[in-house]
Structure 1
Amino acid sequence: MHTRRQFTIQLGCLGALGLGRVAQAQPNDLARLLVGFPPGGSTDNVARRLADKLRGAYAANVIVDNKPGAGAQIAVATVKDAAPDGATLLLSPPAPFTVYPYTYRRLPYATEDVAPVAMVCTFPFALAVGPGVPASVRNLQDFVAWAKATPAKASFGSPAAGSTPHLVGSLLGRMAGFEFTHVAYKGDGPGLQDLMGGQIASYSTVLGSYLPHLQSGRLRLLAVSGTERSSFAPELPTYREQGYPALDMAEWFGIFVPARTPAALVQRAGDAVRAAVAQPDFARGLAEFGMTARSSTAQELGERLRTESAQWRTHVKNIGFTADT
């Protein structure tokens, strides 16, 4: 299913373009930034902040166009079919390209239908427990021991079945050797309410979703993903530190365009995105959601996609999950 040609784009030998030169060469009066989720969520919030920075620099006007449904598949299919003129961009997490090819039998797009442009930000996953778990459980080792001793209570929620947080939780149960029962929710809102109300024992999602609730005392963070601790919760040890190095994956958002987009336009879009991400107020805005502004070249993003796709292919096979019913 995956080949070395995936995500390959003909970048050519182009010199770096400064933001000023980007602004002088606008091919479009209007650019659309597609988002595969409804307004108000984290992806939408990042998209709107990015659109503000691109407006006037990349195109005279940049609008956010929400195309929710099927875990962002509709948005990906939309950008696949868009004209390759630089006027249609997609802001997306990696799952539609790194996870869905292994959990869905059929997709309305192929991974080679889009070309990577640049990364925008990164943020880790985290595991939390609520009042349904004894107060004596303070770390991942304690939790695994408790889950093995009380398997009927060992449940975890996630924002959706087949979401990356769901798969991270399933991997933890498999690696630690206990039955970790999954409860799927429609978003973090209801899931976190049940966690803090004691209806489920634990919850797996991105770290930023927990931050507004930490002062309530109704949830306790046990572990965070990533190769190093998060600056947003520096006291929280990583999965790796607690004996689970395979769970060091992190979530991110990246920009994509139709695969047929000429190299010069891909380069131009990447330069504009990197200039936007480098602005201090953009980074401060993302920090409100527990995200770190971080960009990349198109080649770096393409390589990351290939690496993570290979990893998730193995993980999904080991978990045995399928999104098809």
Structure 2
Amino acid sequence: MSLTRRSALAALATAASPLAARAQAVEQPRILYGFPPGSAGDVVARRVAERLAGSAYAKNAAVVENRAGAGGRLALEALKAAPADGSVLALTPFTATVIYPHVYRRLAYDPLADFAPVAIAALAHHGLAVGPLVPATVTDVKGFVAWARANPDHASYGSPGAGSTPHFLGALLGLGQNLELRHVPYRGSVPGVTELLGGQVAAMLTPAGDFLAHHRSGKLRLLATSGRARLPFAPEVPTFAERGLAELTVEEWFGFYAPAPTPPRLVASASSAINAALKDRSVVDGLAAVGLLAQGSTPEEMARSQRAEHERWGPLVRRVGFTADS
């Protein structure tokens, strides 16, 4: 064998070695998240970020940057402009890529053209909770509807933002019950739950995990959740479907995206590292503590789910009649 051929084979072997893969890893990725710290989705970003260190994708744990505002759109706008070298990812609930295209006549990003799906991280069941503004005798959705009908001046519900999945769940509840419910949008779940606790708003719809601690302490009453089955962290709470409201069944995922031009090998590397993190017991338990179910997926599975949810929500958004220009 010639010296030249031996050198070439040695170079190939080195490139294929774990050491070479490690050398190609991103030094310290950034994860953009479009809502304030403290919410359930923020926990997903931080738990996964901690477990990326030492993987083929990342040398160090990722840094989470909260780009709160515009219902999560600011983080995705920043992702669109980010380097496509694997160094920047964004985590978002599917609201921003599935529902917003039906809500905003002009988005500053195209969910299909500007982003590459990386991995679904977690599933959230949304919950309807009531606070001290609603009498303690109201313990289920039927009772809340009856109370809201009798108290139209206080018949309100909060959501993490206008155009969010919880916003539409509340609107569909009102339409289905021929009930006018005033929507109060917040900048994320945390400020809305705070005002729910203070009696400034009667009810709220948001990921159920954001209610669990207050539900368990008796400060709030979680009336129903949106999953196909009961949330394992609150098995005493029925689903909307059990209460005859099957249309409100939804399990919203939080997913990671990369800029669209990111090379497929980097997307695959990030996806593999994220999926490995989601199997870590500390991550699974950390997500469970805020009412989320660790999920995981391939980029292709995430892309298929995004398309299917986009098709499902188009008619529902049109039925509600809400747009950004409303």
Same fold (TM over 0.5): yes
Which shows bigger deviation, 62-71 or 161-170? 62-71
Tell me the distance in 1 between the aligned counterparts of 2:273 and 2:46. 15
TM-score, normalization: structure 1?
Answer: 0.87
Asked whether the equivalents of residues 22 and 271 of structure 1 are also in contact (C-alpha less than 8 Å), the reply is: no
1:65 aligned onto 2:88:
no
Asked whether the equivalents of residues 119 and 274 of structure 2 are also in contact (C-alpha less than 8 Å), the reply is: yes
Which position in structure 2 is the counterpart of 1:228?
Answer: 229
Tell me the distance in 1 between the aligned counterparts of 2:294 and 2:107. 30
Tell me the distance in 2 between the aligned counterparts of 1:190 and 1:119. 26
Residue by residue, what CA displacement relative to the aligned partner does 1:88-128 show, whole Å, maximum 9, x if unpaired? Answer: 21111111111111111211111121011111111111111
Which shows bigger deviation, 166-175 or 196-205? 196-205
Percent identical residues: 47
Which position in structure 2 is the counterpart of 1:184?
Answer: 185
Aligned pairs for 1:156-195 (under 5 A) are 156-195=157-196
Q: Which amino acid aligns with 2:82?
A: A
Tell me the distance in 1 between the aligned counterparts of 2:101 and 2:217. 39
TM-score, normalization: structure 2?
Answer: 0.86
Offset at 1:212?
1.7
Offset at 1:167?
1.5
Aligned pairs for 1:264-303 (under 5 A) are 264-303=265-304
Decide whether aligned partners of structure 1 residues 248 and 25 sit closer, same or farther in structure 2, where only a CA change above 3 A counts. farther
Tell me the distance in 2 between the aligned counterparts of 1:172 and 1:142. 13
1:111 aligned onto 2:143:
no
Residue 84 of structure 1 aligns to a residue whose secondary structure is coil
Which position in structure 1 is the counterpart of 2:48?
Answer: 50
Which shows bigger deviation, 137-146 or 200-209? 137-146
Asked whether the equivalents of residues 23 and 59 of structure 1 are also in contact (C-alpha less than 8 Å), the reply is: no
1:88 aligned onto 2:118:
no
Which position in structure 2 is the counterpart of 1:139?
Answer: 140
Aligned pairs for 1:195-206 (under 5 A) are 195-206=196-207
Decide whether aligned partners of structure 1 residues 182 and 69 sit closer, same or farther in structure 2, where only a CA change above 3 A counts. closer
Residue 41 of structure 2 aligns to a residue whose secondary structure is helix
Offset at 1:55?
1.5
Decide whether aligned partners of structure 1 residues 211 and 33 sit closer, same or farther in structure 2, where only a CA change above 3 A counts. same
Tell me the distance in 2 between the aligned counterparts of 1:69 and 1:190. 13
RMSD: 2.2
Larger C-alpha radius of gyration, 1 or 2? 2
Asked whether the equivalents of residues 23 and 56 of structure 1 are also in contact (C-alpha less than 8 Å), the reply is: no
Residue 317 of structure 2 aligns to a residue whose secondary structure is helix
Asked whether the equivalents of residues 127 and 203 of structure 1 are also in contact (C-alpha less than 8 Å), the reply is: yes
Tell me the distance in 1 between the aligned counterparts of 2:166 and 2:249. 12
Which shows bigger deviation, 82-91 or 168-177? 82-91
Residue 308 of structure 2 aligns to a residue whose secondary structure is helix
Offset at 1:303?
1.1
Q: Which amino acid aligns with 2:161?
A: A
Segments of 5+ residues of structure 2 without an aligned counterpart are 1-17
Residue 29 of structure 1 aligns to a residue whose secondary structure is coil
Which position in structure 2 is the counterpart of 1:97?
Answer: 97
Tell me the distance in 2 between the aligned counterparts of 1:238 and 1:83. 42
Offset at 1:190?
4.0
Offset at 1:238?
0.2
Asked whether the equivalents of residues 35 and 75 of structure 1 are also in contact (C-alpha less than 8 Å), the reply is: yes
Residue by residue, what CA displacement relative to the aligned partner does 1:249-270 show, whole Å, maximum 9, x if unpaired? Answer: 1222111111122222222211
